[in-house]
Amino acid sequence: MNAPDRYERFVVPEGTKKVSYERDTKIVNAASFTIEREDHTIGNILRMQLHRDPNVLFAGYKLPHPLQYKIIVRIHTTSQSSPTQAYNQAIDDLDKELQHLKKAFESGFMLLQSVVEEERRKNKKIIWFKTQEHDALCAVL
């Protein structure tokens, strides 16, 4: 089989930069960022975050080939910003959003855990079930 080994999807080869920058010579305030060992997951999230920035005129990405584990993100900004500033701001904003989601998940999980423990102390029976809308729900009997 011609497919590369699985680890090659994630491990950046030694001597290769995770992110490289190339300024566009034909369009002012435009650049391409090549991100190694990433795919549509990061490409689409980053593109959508860049679209939230009012100084970004265009943001898109492409996966050059299914067996090449890199994406190329193209950014065109107004004169009020630069592609590098927009890229860095998008990464910072996504990091903050992920930290917020992590804290919300952890606090929700801890709350659920405390409710379950309290009900177990009362010798209540706890069952878990799955529905079409939710992966797991808890019921106290």
Q: What is the mean pLDDT of each run of 10 residues along the chain (141 residues)?
A: 79 94 98 97 98 98 93 98 98 97 90 82 75 65 55
pLDDT at res. 134:
67
Q: Under DSSP, is residue 38 helix (H, G, I), strand (E, B) or coil?
A: coil
The fold adopted by the segment(s) 6-110 is Gyrase A; domain 2 (3.30.1360)
Encoded tokens for 118:
């309290």
pLDDT at res. 51:
98
- Cα distance from N-terminal residue to C-terminal residue, the chain: 54
Helices (H), 23-125: 40-51, 83-121
- Other beta carbons within 10 angstroms of residue 89's beta carbon come to 17
pLDDT at res. 44:
98
